[in-house]
Structure formats: structure tokens, C-alpha cells
């Protein structure tokens, strides 16, 4: 049985992440979407919130589990019996970072391979940071993130009391 992990901060999960996870789930027997709990970046959502949003976004995929982890990704991969780390590539600049990480992980854990999936063209521009910034200033992110994430962004910015958060509205593009 081939097990893979798809690690990331997922702050928040985007439709691009869902696309990569869905395609990875079709390639492996079991996929663990691994939510990193201590990244060296400013997070909008707590680990628990990111876990819940990710679980909701991927609930239809039966061979996916979502869990948080800390420490080295290769150590987490070993602890769950994963043979593969899945990464998504959007743009050329992603390749350089992912290549360096893959080589580092190979040095630390030669038994674990890295597989990079090229993003679907519809999501090549998309990152969690882009979605957060657009939502923060009141833009529509409906085509960028799952519906429950749009709602979570709206609620988070409203709770934070930012002026931009007060203007965030869930806008339906289908109306």
C-alpha cells in the first residue's frame, strides 16, 4: 500500500490545494494531508481552524486523512509510514524552492521520494496569501477557496475588527 503525505500550512486551504490533493489521492492508496502547526510565518488561522477547514474541503475523498504535525516533514512521513511527499508547483519560482527542499529531504530520508504535481492552469496564480489579501480588502474569493473557507475568512476579518473585514461579503458569482 502506497502512502503519501501532502504537507502545508493551508492558511487557508484553497481550491488549488484541493485540486492537488484530489489528484494525489488518485495516485496513491492513502494520502495524509499534513497541516504544519508551527511554520515560520504569520498565520491568520489556528492549527485547529486550519485542520477543520481542510477536513471539510476534502471530506468527499475517502482515501484522505487530515492531521497536524510539527517538526521535520520527513520525520512525520516516517511516523505515518509514508513513502512519498507530494508538493504542488504553480510557477517557475516554486520549482527552485521545491527542488531544494526535495534534495534536503532526500539527504535526511533517502527512502522517501518527493513527487511534484503541476497545478491546474485555473489555479496557477493562487496562493493562500493571495486569497487572504483579496478577502481582507473586501474582494470576492468565491472561485479561489471552498465556500466554508470564504465564510471563515469573512468571520475572521470581522472578528479582527479590521475596516476591510467589515466590508468582506460573501458574493455569489452565480447571481
Q: Is the peptide bond before 12 cis (omega within 30 degrees of 0)?
A: yes
Choose, from 23, 90, 106, 148, the residue flagged as catalytic.
Answer: 90
90 is catalytic: yes
Report how far residue 149's alpha carbon sits from residue 40's, in angstroms, rounded to the nearest whole number.
Answer: 22
41 is catalytic: yes
Choose, from 2, 26, 38, 41, the residue flagged as catalytic.
Answer: 41
17 is catalytic: yes
User: Is the alpha carbon torsion for 89, 91, 121, 167 positive or negative?
Assistant: positive
Outline where the chain has alpha helix (H): 15-27, 47-57, 73-79, 92-108, 128-136, 147-160, 163-167
According to DSSP, residue 10 is labeled: -
Residue appearing with cell numbers 481582507: 136
Q: List residues with catalytic annotation.
A: 17, 41, 90, 128
Amino acid at each position: 500500500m502506497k502512502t503519501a503525505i501532502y504537507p502545508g500550512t493551508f492558511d487557508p486551504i484553497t481550491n488549488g490545494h484541493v485540486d492537488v490533493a484530489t489528484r494525489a489521492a488518485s495516485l496513491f492508496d492513502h494520502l495524509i494531508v499534513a497541516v504544519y502547526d508551527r511554520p515560520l510565518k504569520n498565520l491568520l488561522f489556528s492549527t485547529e481552524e486550519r485542520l477543520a477547514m481542510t477536513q471539510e474541503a476534502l471530506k468527499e475523498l475517502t482515501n484522505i486523512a487530515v492531521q497536524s504535525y510539527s517538526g521535520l516533514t520527513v520525520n512525520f512521513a516516517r511516523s505515518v509510514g509514508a513513502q512519498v511527499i507530494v508538493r504542488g508547483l504553480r510557477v517557475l519560482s516554486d520549482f527552485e524552492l521545491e527542488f531544494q527542499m526535495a534534495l534536503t529531504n532526500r539527504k535526511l530520508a533517502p527512502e522517501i521520494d518527493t513527487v511534484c504535481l503541476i497545478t491546474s492552469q485555473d489555479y496557477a496564480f493562487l496562493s493562500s496569501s493571495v486569497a487572504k489579501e483579496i478577502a481582507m480588502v473586501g474582494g470576492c474569493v468565491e472561485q479561489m477557496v471552498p465556500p466554508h473557507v470564504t465564510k471563515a475568512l469573512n468571520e475572521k476579518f470581522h472578528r479582527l475588527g479590521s475596516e476591510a473585514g467589515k466590508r468582506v461579503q460573501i458574493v455569489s458569482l452565480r447571481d
